[in-house]
Amino acid sequence: MIIIISLILVLDQLSKLIACRSLYLNQSIPVIKNIFHITLVHNRGAAFGLLRNQVPLLICTTFFAIWLIYVNLRHSPGGKKFSLYRISLGLVLAGALGNLIDRIFYSYVIDFLDFRIWPVFNVADSAITVGAVLLGWTLLKGPKTK
């Protein structure tokens, strides 16, 4: 689990560093014109810009979410074994940590992946989304019975 979380964190922070060094704020470079662009934005809110400029609240909420995920990982069925449930929690945790680092150091989250039909996002956001979908699926699927 530590490897997955570390890999996502490094990929997230490295990609944000490259975006910040390659673009100026609000600059957009088309990769596939009108479909996918690299656009540097500073998100001062949560998902979809909700709770804009509420940095202390977002930081506290993120710390609480990280603590809940950590407790769940420590006490999840199967112990330290890999499971889709544990992987989904690890993805959400890695994404939360990646965006928390931005909020603590910059008071905003660095976003740069722009599909034009969706708000601009980053690697951490992707990890949170994939993790949340997997988590929902594993919870809806329920435990296997013999």
Cα torsion angle, 110, 122, 20, 39, sign: negative
Q: Please compute Rg for the chain using Cα positions.
A: 16
Catalytic residues: 111, 125
Task: Identify the residue with better confidence: 63 or 75.
Answer: 63
Report the interhelical angle of 84-106 vs 55-75 (nearest 10°). 150
In this prediction, residue 101 has a pLDDT band, given cuts at 50, 70 and 90, of: very high
Mapping DSSP to helix (H, G, I), strand (E, B) and coil, where does residue 95 land?
helix
Expressed in percent and rounded to 5, the helix, strand and coil fractions of the chain are 60, 15, 25
Average pLDDT of the chain, as a whole number: 91
Highest mean pLDDT among 14-18, 70-74, 82-86, 137-141: 14-18
Sheet holding 109-114, edge to edge: 28-32, 36-43, 109-114
Task: Tally Cβ neighbours within 10 Å of residue 116.
Answer: 14
Task: Tally Cβ neighbours within 10 Å of residue 49.
Answer: 11
Q: What angle do CA 6, 49, 41 make, to 5 degrees?
A: 65
Instruction: Say which residue the tokens 């740069």 belong to.
Output: 112
In this prediction, residue 146 has a pLDDT band, given cuts at 50, 70 and 90, of: very low
Task: Identify the residue with better confidence: 132 or 82.
Answer: 132
Find the mean pLDDT for residues 9-26: 98
Find the mean pLDDT for residues 86-105: 96
Find the mean pLDDT for residues 62-71: 94
- The predicted-structure confidence for 105-130, as pLDDT tens digits, reads as follows 999 999 999 999 999 999 999 999 99
Provide the percentage of residues in the chain whose pLDDT is more than 70.
92
Mapping DSSP to helix (H, G, I), strand (E, B) and coil, where does residue 38 land?
strand
* pLDDT tops 70 at residue 81: no
User: What local confidence, expressed as pLDDT, does residue 64 receive?
Assistant: 96
- The predicted-structure confidence for 24-56, as pLDDT tens digits, reads as follows 999 999 999 999 999 999 999 877 667 777 788
Is residue 82 classed exposed, middle or buried when 0-12, 13-18 and 19+ CB atoms within 10 A define those classes?
exposed
